[in-house]
Amino acid sequence: MRSSVFFKLLAGFLVVIVVATVVLDISIRRAWEASLREEIQTELTEKTRMFAARVRASRGQDMEQLAREAATAGNVRATIIQSDGKVLGDSEADPERMENHATRPEFISALQHNEIGASTRWSHTIGIPFLYVAAPIPGGAVRMAYPLASIQELTGKVRRTLLGASAIALAIAAILAGILAQLVARRLRRIEEFAARIAAGDLTARIAESSRDEIAQVAEALDHTARRLEESFVALEASRKELESVLNGMQEAVIAVGNDRKVRWANGPMRELVKGEVRLGADLVESVRDPNVLGAVRRAIESGQSTTSVATSLIAGRTYQVTAAPMSPRGAVVVLHDLTAIERVEKTRRDFIANVSHELRTPLTSVQGYAETLIDSLPPAMPQARDFLDVILKNARRMTRLTEDLLVLARVESGEQRFATEPVRVATLLTEAVAAMREAAKGSGSDVTVEPAPEAEVLADSQGIQQVLTNLIDNALKYAPGKIVVGAREVADGIEFYVRDFGEGIASEHLPRLFERFYRVDKARSRESGGTGLGLAIVKHIVLAHEGTMRVDSSVGHGSTFYFSLPRADKTAASSVAESPSFTKI
Ligand code: ADP
């Protein structure tokens, strides 16, 4: 490439120099020839005029003598011609032998216009080009001829000198062009070396041209670009280090993987977590074997959305919340948050609630029993005592329900209550739940109808889902008695069940918190109707344990619809045991 640029430049220079020399040579030669011819013609004209004057002045002198004298003086050929064309005298030939000159153009022109006539042509006698000039004299004309061969000779000489000078100029120009081409090629080579260093990642490379021509301007622009690139790179590197130290300083373990599930980066806590086994560029599964972590990464990459999960097999006895978020342009970043301590506190809390509920059961049963016995054995004359006992009995019953609900919730929440799921017909679940609530419906004067359900099976623990449906129907009977519709329909991810009422509805501000423990829209009404505030929390946890989702749709004055979805049985062939609730739901 180097020599190619050099030779191209050199060849270009040489072509230009050769063309310039040739053009110069031709034009100078032409100009020179023209001016020489003009000069000769002027001189010859002058000599012819003088020759004519001399002939006119001669009185009966020998014409040949006159011609010879004029020829010797002017160093030309001289001829005297009679008006009929007959040659009277000539400096070089015998006039008697010479042909008639009446047709010579210079002669005709001199006679016709009585003025100087000139013509250039080949001489028949000698066979070389001649310049003829004729001047009129009384009774004819005189003519002088000059051989133009001398012009050619002179021109040839000039041309040779010119060519010699051109050759020397060409040689000097070629040497200069070579030096110049070499200089340009060397500068281009420096730019090429600069580009190679930049491409190899050396952003400190500079061309540093000192001149101010176009190549220097290009070099300056490239240096500027390299400088900017280096600055951006330094800034980028600084922010990368900053980010890295922030991520390393986090308590959470962070690992980034590409679309190919190969590890791109991991922070310090992550390396500690897997005992330093994180191998950059290797498959994630080589570092992390927990199926929930791998599943979350897969889902994040495939769906392009953040997913969360819980990992319990990373380190024995420790629980991690896994958050996998898609990373641009492709891949995912996983954050592992240690939940062990929170889980421990949660477990202590659940155990405490379960223990308290359990311990309260026996005394509450006995309070309830004694109150009932006392009511039965009270004499009718003590109405006030009966009222007190009724209040005691009512509250004892409420407390019993509360302890029972708390026990159920604690068991479902902790995963202690395992749900054995199996394929169950949708219609069976609906009709059995409605049948179980028939008496209660009658009591509240409501009409519970089952809408035609899809002929499908869901993966469910019948008892668990019965509890969900009856809790929802019970709520509808308590808070929106009247027409109640129960049904199910097919949706994208399974079967969605619904319990719809046409009561007062729930204001939108309550909806996000409705499934929390002890959250009640109207506390007094809930208490009055025997509610504990735990029904919907239990419902939610049972549905989550079935890998289902839960939602509510309600507007004041138009009633409410509670929905929950369950996976279809034909999606997963074998029956399975539902695990503890997943964090991906609700
Ligand atoms: P509770 O034992 O009080 O019924 P839940 O958890 O079952 O507790 O319900 C929480 C609250 O949600 C209830 O107190 C009630 O205010 C409201 N609620 C539940 N279902 C309905 C419904 N179908 N219509 C109107 N409000 C409802």
Take atom 7 of ligand 1 and give the residue whose Cα is closest.
535
The first and second tokens of residue 153, run together, are 């000779």
pLDDT tens, residue by residue, 510-561: 999 999 999 999 888 888 877 889 999 999 999 999 989 999 999 999 999 9
CB atoms within 10 A of CB 547: 21
Take atom 24 of ligand 1 and give the residue whose Cα is closest.
479
Highest mean pLDDT among 153-162, 458-467, 575-584: 458-467
The whole-number pLDDT of residue 583 equals: 30
- Using alpha carbons, select from 577, 397, 567 the residue that is nearest to residue 493: 567
Higher pLDDT, 452 or 170: 452
CB atoms within 10 A of CB 20: 14
Calpha distance 56→166 (Å, rounded) = 51
Which atom, in ligand 1's list, is nearest to the CA of 530?
2
Ligand 1: residue of 397, 472, 475 to mutate (most ligand atoms within 8 A of CB) is: 475
pLDDT tens, residue by residue, 336-370: 999 999 989 988 988 898 899 889 999 999 999 99
- Using alpha carbons, select from 354, 296, 325 the residue that is nearest to residue 583: 296
Q: Is the pLDDT of residue 41 over 50?
A: yes
CA of 489 to the centre of ligand 1 (A): 24
- How much is the average pLDDT of 224-242? 93
Take atom 20 of ligand 1 and give the residue whose Cα is closest.
475
Question: Amino acid identity of 583?
Answer: F
Contacts of 29 (CB under 8 A, 6+ apart): 155, 158, 159, 162
The whole-number pLDDT of residue 586 equals: 27
- CA angle 441-442-447, nearest 5°? 60
- How much is the average pLDDT of 7-23? 81
Calpha distance 444→413 (Å, rounded) = 31
Alpha-carbon distances of 58 from 52, 55, 67, rounded to whole Å: 10, 5, 12
The whole-number pLDDT of residue 157 equals: 84
CA of 545 to the centre of ligand 1 (A): 21
Higher pLDDT, 468 or 577: 468
Given a contact cutoff of 8 angstroms between Cβ atoms, the answer to whether 61 and 53 are in contact is no
CB atoms within 10 A of CB 157: 10
The first and second tokens of residue 86, run together, are 């007959």
The whole-number pLDDT of residue 11 equals: 83
Residue 135, beta-bridge partner list: 142
pLDDT tens, residue by residue, 554-566: 999 999 999 999 9
Q: Is the pLDDT of residue 185 over 90?
A: no
* Helices within 210-339 (DSSP H only): 214-249, 268-273, 284-287, 291-303
Calpha distance 410→351 (Å, rounded) = 8
Strands 320-326 and 307-311: antiparallel
Given a contact cutoff of 8 angstroms between Cβ atoms, the answer to whether 530 and 398 are in contact is yes
Q: Is the pLDDT of residue 571 over 70?
A: no
Calpha distance 101→65 (Å, rounded) = 19
Calpha distance 144→168 (Å, rounded) = 42
The whole-number pLDDT of residue 422 equals: 95
Q: Is the pLDDT of residue 30 over 90?
A: no
Task: Give residue 3's pLDDT band: very low, low, confident or very high (50, 70, 90).
Answer: low
* Helices within 253-307 (DSSP H only): 268-273, 284-287, 291-303
Higher pLDDT, 584 or 459: 459
pLDDT tens, residue by residue, 152-162: 787 788 778 87
Strand residue runs (E) in 367-431: 419-420, 422-425
CA of 465 to the centre of ligand 1 (A): 18
Which atom, in ligand 1's list, is nearest to the CA of 515?
6
The first and second tokens of residue 516, run together, are 């929390």
User: Does the beta carbon of 560 sit less than 6 angstroms from any atom of ligand 1?
Assistant: yes
The pLDDT mean for the chain works out to: 88
User: Does the beta carbon of 55 sit less than 6 angstroms from any atom of ligand 1?
Assistant: no
Strands 447-450 and 483-491: parallel
User: Does the beta carbon of 503 sit less than 6 angstroms from any atom of ligand 1?
Assistant: yes
Task: Give residue 20's pLDDT band: very low, low, confident or very high (50, 70, 90).
Answer: confident
User: Does the beta carbon of 567 sit less than 6 angstroms from any atom of ligand 1?
Assistant: no
Please state the pTM of the whole predicted model: 0.53
Calpha distance 7→13 (Å, rounded) = 10
pLDDT tens, residue by residue, 291-336: 999 999 999 998 888 998 889 888 888 899 999 999 888 899 999 9
Categorise residue 530: left if φ over 0, alpha if ψ from -120 to 50, beta otherwise.
Answer: left
CA of 482 to the centre of ligand 1 (A): 16
pLDDT tens, residue by residue, 192-219: 999 999 999 898 999 988 888 888 899 9
Least confident of 137-141, 198-202, 255-259, 377-381: 377-381
CA of 499 to the centre of ligand 1 (A): 13
CA of 430 to the centre of ligand 1 (A): 20
Higher pLDDT, 575 or 7: 7
The whole-number pLDDT of residue 125 equals: 66
Coil, helix or strand at residue 542: helix
Given a contact cutoff of 8 angstroms between Cβ atoms, the answer to whether 318 and 293 are in contact is no
**91 DSSP assignment:** S
Query: What is the full DSSP assignment across 131-182?
Result: EEEEEEETTEEEEEEEETHHHHHHHHHHHHHHHHHHHHHHHHHHHHHHHHHH
Calpha distance 502→230 (Å, rounded) = 69
User: Does the beta carbon of 511 sit less than 6 angstroms from any atom of ligand 1?
Assistant: no
Given a contact cutoff of 8 angstroms between Cβ atoms, the answer to whether 133 and 49 are in contact is no
Given a contact cutoff of 8 angstroms between Cβ atoms, the answer to whether 441 and 484 are in contact is yes
Coil, helix or strand at residue 338: strand
The first and second tokens of residue 200, run together, are 């190899």
Higher pLDDT, 3 or 550: 550
Question: Amino acid identity of 540?
Answer: K
Take atom 13 of ligand 1 and give the residue whose Cα is closest.
520
User: Does the beta carbon of 324 sit less than 6 angstroms from any atom of ligand 1?
Assistant: no
Calpha distance 229→235 (Å, rounded) = 10
CA of 472 to the centre of ligand 1 (A): 9
The whole-number pLDDT of residue 549 equals: 94
The whole-number pLDDT of residue 581 equals: 36
- Using alpha carbons, select from 528, 530, 464, 529 the residue that is nearest to residue 497: 464
Task: Give residue 176's pLDDT band: very low, low, confident or very high (50, 70, 90).
Answer: confident
Least confident of 2-16, 51-65, 442-456, 489-503: 2-16
pLDDT tens, residue by residue, 66-99: 899 899 988 899 999 999 999 999 988 888 888 8
Ligand 1: residue of 520, 525, 527, 542 to mutate (most ligand atoms within 8 A of CB) is: 520
- How much is the average pLDDT of 462-483? 95
CA of 420 to the centre of ligand 1 (A): 28
Highest mean pLDDT among 95-109, 318-332, 421-435: 421-435
What is the enclosing helix (H) or strand (E) of 105? Answer: helix 105-113
Given a contact cutoff of 8 angstroms between Cβ atoms, the answer to whether 122 and 22 are in contact is no
- How much is the average pLDDT of 268-290? 86
Ligand 1: residue of 502, 513, 521, 542 to mutate (most ligand atoms within 8 A of CB) is: 521
Q: Is the pLDDT of residue 454 over 70?
A: yes
Longest dimension (CA), the chain: 199
Calpha distance 473→466 (Å, rounded) = 10
- CA angle 423-426-431, nearest 5°? 125
